[in-house]
Structure 1
Amino acid sequence: MRRQADIEPIPFGAIAGFDADDLDAAFSAFRRSAAHLVSGAGEQRAARRPSPGLTAAARAALSGDIDGHAFFRRRFQPWRLRKKGFVTAYYEPEVEARLAPEPGFGTPALSRPPDLVTLNDSPLSAATGETLTSARRLPDGALTSYPTRRAIEEEGAATGSVPIAYLSDPVELFLMQVQGSARLRLPDGKTAALTYDGRNGWPYTSIGRLMIERGLAPESEMSLEKLKATLRKMGVGPDQPGRRLMQENRSYVFFSLDDSDDRRLGPIGGEGVALTPLRSIAVDRSIWSYGLPFWIATRVPWVSEAETGFERLMIAQDTGSAIVGEARADLFFGAGARAGSLAGRVRHIADFIVFLPREEAAP
Structure 2
Amino acid sequence: MELPLRREDFSTLPGWAEDRPAAAFAAFCRSAEHALRVGPYRAGGWGLGHADFESAYRAALSDPAPVSDESARLFFQTHFRPVEICPDAADGLITGYYEPEIEVRARPDARFRYPFLRKPDRLVPVPDPDNPPGDVPRGHAFMLENDGVPAPCPDRQAIETGAFAQESLEIAWAASRIDVFFAHVQGCARLRYGDGRVTRINYAAKSGHPFTAIGRLLIERGEVPADRISMDAIRAWLAVEPDRADRLMRENRSFIFFSETALAGDGSGPVGAGRVPLEPGRSLAVDHRIHCYGSPVFVRASGLAEFDAARPFARLMIAQDTGTAITGPVRGDVFTGSGAAAGERAGSLKAPARFVMLVPAGSRIARQAGHER
| TM-score, length-scaled by structure 2 | 0.87
Name the SS of the counterpart of 1:209 in structure 2: helix
* Residue equivalent to 1:2: 2
* Residue equivalent to 2:354: 351
Letter paired with 2:75 = F
271-280 or 83-92: bigger deviation:
83-92
| Counterpart Cα distance in 2 of 1:312 and 1:323 | 19
Change (3 A) 1:289 1:350: same
Letter paired with 1:56 = S
| Counterpart Cα distance in 2 of 1:93 and 1:11 | 38
Pairwise CA distance, 1:155:
3.1
CA RMSD of aligned residues (A): 2.5
Q: Which sections of structure 1, spanning at least 5 residues, go unmatched? A: none
Letter paired with 2:217 = L
* Residue equivalent to 2:300: 297
* Residue equivalent to 2:197: 190
Kept after mapping to 1: 8 A contact 2:287/2:329:
yes
Deviations 1:189-233 (Å, cap 9, x if unpaired)? 221111111111111100011111112222222222221121122
| Counterpart Cα distance in 2 of 1:351 and 1:158 | 46
10-19 or 313-322: bigger deviation:
10-19
Kept after mapping to 2: 8 A contact 1:267/1:274:
yes
| Counterpart Cα distance in 2 of 1:129 and 1:136 | 12
| Counterpart Cα distance in 2 of 1:131 and 1:20 | 43
| Counterpart Cα distance in 1 of 2:299 and 2:5 | 15
Name the SS of the counterpart of 2:364 in structure 1: coil
Deviations 1:23-69 (Å, cap 9, x if unpaired)? 222111111111111122588xx773833021221122111146212
* Residue equivalent to 2:52: 53
| Counterpart Cα distance in 2 of 1:260 and 1:355 | 32
| Counterpart Cα distance in 2 of 1:361 and 1:149 | 44
The 5-angstrom pairing of residues 174-213 of structure 1 reads: 174-213=181-220
* Residue equivalent to 1:317: 320
Name the SS of the counterpart of 1:56 in structure 2: helix
| Counterpart Cα distance in 2 of 1:340 and 1:251 | 22
| Counterpart Cα distance in 2 of 1:70 and 1:118 | 41
Letter paired with 1:2 = E
180-189 or 169-178: bigger deviation:
180-189
| Counterpart Cα distance in 1 of 2:135 and 2:7 | 43
Letter paired with 1:80 = E
Change (3 A) 1:160 1:103: closer
* Residue equivalent to 1:266: 269
Deviations 1:317-362 (Å, cap 9, x if unpaired)? 0000100000110111111122212312333110110011112112
Overall identity of the aligned pairs, in %: 37
Change (3 A) 1:79 1:248: same
Number of residue pairs matched by the alignment? 353
* Residue equivalent to 2:371: none
Kept after mapping to 2: 8 A contact 1:113/1:161:
no
Deviations 1:226-251 (Å, cap 9, x if unpaired)? 2112112221xxxx421011010011
156-165 or 102-111: bigger deviation:
156-165
* Residue equivalent to 1:76: 80
1:332 paired residue among 321, 332, 335: 335
Is 1:137 aligned to residue 145 of structure 2? yes
* Residue equivalent to 2:101: 94
Deviations 1:100-136 (Å, cap 9, x if unpaired)? 1123111000000111112375455597965111111
| Counterpart Cα distance in 2 of 1:269 and 1:277 | 12
| TM-score, length-scaled by structure 1 | 0.90
Change (3 A) 1:121 1:38: farther
Deviations 1:235-284 (Å, cap 9, x if unpaired)? 1xxxx421011010011001111016489511111111111111011000
Deviations 1:130-173 (Å, cap 9, x if unpaired)? 5111111231x243221111111113247745100111121010
| Counterpart Cα distance in 2 of 1:93 and 1:288 | 26
Is 1:115 aligned to residue 122 of structure 2? yes
Change (3 A) 1:247 1:343: same
* Residue equivalent to 1:251: 254
